Amino acid sequence: MEHPLLFLSLLLDALGLPAHGGNSTLAKILAPHMQYSFLSMIICIVLAKMATSNMQMIPKGVQNIMEAFVGSLEDFITEQTHDKKKTLIIFPMIATFALYILISNYMGLIPGFMSPTSNLNVTLGCTAISIFTYHALGFRFHGIKYLKHFMGPVPAMAPVMFPIEIFSHIGRILSLSIRLFGNMVSKEILLGLLFMLAGPYLAPLPIMFLGVLVCLIQAFIFMMLSIVYSVEAMAEGH
């Protein structure tokens, strides 16, 4: 298959670096999804830096946008947790996910860029962080009694409930990662097909409009589910 035209890959090609994937470690680090993942990380850091470097009492520009984003997100999480302390514990992770995934998703709509989230490895990485964090939070809030949550309410039912819980957690991993990946990659493939088959000008426009919506919804869902699972793990016994 032909390589899509990616600006960062062309740039790295010009510098003589392996930019289209391969088996060496450097090629793996500089694969296209990694390049664009780094780019969206850099955008996140730059946004944070711009928002906090010149803080004013009456916010302007980037500070204003970021304050609105952070404030509304904090309210949203507090609605779920009902506890300021718990909110502050999970807030950094959730805010990072929201910003990173939103930027990554929308990057795919610009010609010459791709969404890092249209690669399963990236979404699986985000999911791993989320899953590991909520289990760690469960152990932190309940100690070893967290394992009792897996056993169900009745001790006699434990041999049946334990596999059920395991499968439900595996299902969470799969649904969290594959949903984001599938939506993004389907959008990209559809856009590519329409560009090639139906003519370059207005044919991909409806899919692009749908893409704008899907990007926002998927970022919201990922954030929402991370919150719900964390809250569920931190909640007092069932």
Partner 1 sequence: MSGVKEELASLFRSLSFAATISLSVVFSMFAGVLTGYYLDTWLLKGRIYPWLTIICLFLGLGGGVKNFLILSRRFSKEAEKKEAPKDEKDDEVQ
Q: How many residues bind partner 1, per CB under 8 A? A: 25
Q: Is 6 helix (H, G, I), strand (E, B) or coil?
A: coil
Question: Could you give the C-alpha distances from 3 to 21, 32, 114, in angstroms and in order?
Answer: 11, 10, 12
Tokens of 210: 């749908």
Nearest distance from C-beta of residue 9 to partner 1, angstroms: 32
Burial pattern 32-54, b for ≥16 Cβ within 10 A else e, equals bbbbbbebbbeebeebeeebeee
Show the binding pattern over residues 189-228: x = contacts partner 1 (CB under 8 A), - = does not.
----------------------------x--xx--xx--x
What string of DSSP letters covers 72-136?
A: HHHHHHHHHH--HHHHHHHHHHHHHHHHHHHHHHHHTTSTT---GGGSHHHHHHHHHHHHHHHHH
Contact residue for partner 1 among 12, 48, 178, 212 (CB under 8 A): 178
Q: In whole angstroms, how close is the CB of 169 to partner 1 at the nearest point?
A: 8
- For residue 160, the minimal CB distance to partner 1 (Å) is 8
Q: Is residue 175 near partner 1 by the rule CB under 8 A? A: yes
Choose, by CB under 8 A, the member of 71, 112, 153, 163 that binds partner 1.
Answer: 163
Find the binder of partner 1 among 142, 148, 149, 179 (CB under 8 A): 179
Output 36 or 97, the one with its CB closest to partner 1: 97
What residues line the site for partner 1 (CB under 8 A)?
79-80, 160, 163-172, 174-175, 178-179, 217, 220-221, 224-225, 228, 231-232
